[in-house]
Structure 1
Amino acid sequence: MRSYLAGSAELRGVVYLVDSRHPPMAGDREFVGYLAETGTPTLIALTKVDKLKASARARGLPAPGVLDELGVSADQVVTSSARTGEGAEELLDAIAALLETEDES
């Protein structure tokens, strides 16, 4: 994966999917850290929000620890559900904003 990212002249950013039902895993932290080190624009899509319990949703998304664990800011995170379509428009808007930011660079 790293060689692909390093060798791709067309790469403009990465949308990284993380299951919202579970804390980020070591591999998630490592890969998102690598993206930050290389300056790759990154958007985190927290998936499967439709499967979260009401109590978890009431505490707010993303869960406070997720931002710290992945070392990202809130504007880099979008919540989504492929099943219900929740967050689809926000995800598309965030991708468009990421691409616009890259165009300005």
Structure 2
Amino acid sequence: MILTDIRQAIAPFKPHLANALPELYPEPHDIPQGWGLTFFLHLKDSAVHSEGTGWWAGLPNLFWYADRKRGIGGMIASQIIPFGDMKILGLWANIEAGLNENLQTK
């Protein structure tokens, strides 16, 4: 695993299919992000994800993640384009926050 932060903006090739995003997963900038074999990786433990959490997204605002250390994962499946829909991104963030909050109270 390479411990280099690969965080970068997304400039869509076809703006009618994807929104420009300054970064897709805005974890704190002291949390490095990288690539696994076929997915995005969080390279350090944070309040939101464990080290090694993998996730990926698809064009119609499909998102999944798997945090094996915490034993949780989630998926949002929509058919909304353009990619990077702010309501779907907000939903994803709220679902993860709710899961994490529930884990902390038990």
- TM value normalised by structure 2: 0.34
Structure with the largest fraction of helix: 1
Structure with the largest fraction of strand: 2
